[in-house]
Structure 1
Amino acid sequence: MQVVSGDGFSGWHALNDTVMGGRSSGSCSVSSRGLRLEAEVVEQGGGFVSCRSPVFSPPLDLSDQAAFELELQGDGRHYKLAVACADGVAGLTELIPGGVRWVANFATSADGPCRLRIPFEQLRPSIRAKPIDALPLGLPLRFDAARITRLQILHSKFGDDGSANPGFRAGPLLLELMAIHAVT
């Protein structure tokens, strides 16, 4: 099932570390080929650049799927896919600044286009690059594939487990994302 491809990435926009005082600059552009993230990554003061979708309304229902599949042209860096879900726990996660994101690392190759599979079961809850297991009240978190509200692609100095990203590199960056599919 195709989630987005080609010029269907319209409305995606950059969100970079400047929101927290960093100095990285990145932009997202869309063509018939797909989404292009071009950036200059600066580690000091933040160390991340990203492109994120608009909020999906109504949320995407991918409950009959098991994974995301990304078609992309990478640059040898490690990136993260971040997924936001509508909150089924009385809206509590929406009260957390930045909200809960379900994230997974993936490595890219600079050798040409590739397809990467990210199973839903590999997505881990995180708040601003810090992994979490439960909400402040001890309520457990659960990825809800039936209520996906936003997708984001990031290059960050932090991996999905909160440790250093082994594929992080400051400097110029270029990633092309041709499509995101949901697959069984």
Structure 2
Amino acid sequence: MSKKKFLFQKKEFDGWKTLNDTVMGGSSSAFCEISNSGLILKGNIVEKAGGFVSCRSSIYKPSLNVSEYSSFELNIDGQGRTFKFAVACEDDLLGLTEFIPGGLRWIKSFPTKKFGTTNVQIPYSDLKPSVRANKVRFPFKFKPSKIKRLQLLHSKFGDDGLLNNEFKQGSIKVLIKSISVI
């Protein structure tokens, strides 16, 4: 039996904030709120000039070390939408990746059920480097001992920078019940 460590569940999502496409000229409006059941991402997504809403953790100081585990596990009521899970790590390049607009993120897209809770496991090996929904060809290495932020996005773009076929603009209300490592 594998060991599991809850990083966030129920009311433990304190410090998570919204980041929407308004940072790049879009007009989506969503917010994150903590409930007894987890973190709710709620609002309205507008595809034109942007097309994403998200919730992200505060920056971990010191960095989160989950190197004794091999996967993230998310439990989410996601309305049948496809989401991207994004992880930011400290780099070994004297912080140079922070000067990349939008920053380097390790991402993996996953679908959710239209009704009920989706349990998804994301092995660290499935996370791919990306900058603003574009693949990064430089051979960066994922650092599970140096995680500085987690984020969940619903975006019109998928992992590969192509369009997310399950993107839905309009009203959104999803519940992130927990994020764990296993």
The interval holding the TM-score normalised by the smaller chain is over 0.9
RMSD: 0.8
Give the TM-score normalised by structure 1.
0.94
Partner of 2:55: 51
Range that drifts further, 2-11 or 144-153: 2-11
Counterparts of 1:99 and 1:6 in 2: how far apart (Å)? 29
Deviations 1:53-97 (A, max 9, x none): 000111110111111000111100100000000111221111212
Q: Which ranges of structure 1 fall in alignment gaps of 5 or more residues?
A: 135-139
* C-alpha separation in 1, matches of 2:115 and 2:21: 28
**Equivalence map 1:129-144=2 (5 Å):** 129-134=133-138, 140-144=139-143
Distance in 1 (alpha carbons) for counterparts of 2:132 and 2:140: 16
Alignment of 1:17-166 (within 5 A): 17-134=21-138, 140-166=139-165
Aligned to 1:176: 175
Q: Provide structure 2 residue ranges, at least 5 long, that are not aligned to the other structure.
A: none
Q: Deviations over 1:9-29 (max 9, x none)?
A: 011111000111101110100
For 2:96 and 2:164, the matched residues in 1 are separated by 29
Letter of the aligned partner of 1:92 in structure 2? L
The amino acid of 1:85's aligned partner reads: C
Structure 1 equivalent of residue 19 of structure 2: 15
Q: Which aligned segments of 4 or more residues in structure 1 are displaced greater than 2 angstroms?
A: none
Query: C-alpha separation between the residues in 2 aligned to 1:111 and 1:16?
Result: 25
What amino acid sits opposite 2:165 in the alignment? P
TM-score norm. by structure 2 comes to 0.95
Q: Partner letter of residue 140 of structure 2? A: L
Q: Distance in 2 between matches of 1:11 and 1:90?
A: 26
Q: Percent identity?
A: 46
Q: Report SS of the residue matched to 1:54.
A: coil
CA shift for structure 1 position 114 = 2.4
> Secondary structure of 2:39's partner?
strand
Figure out how many residues of one structure are paired with residues of the other and give that number: 178
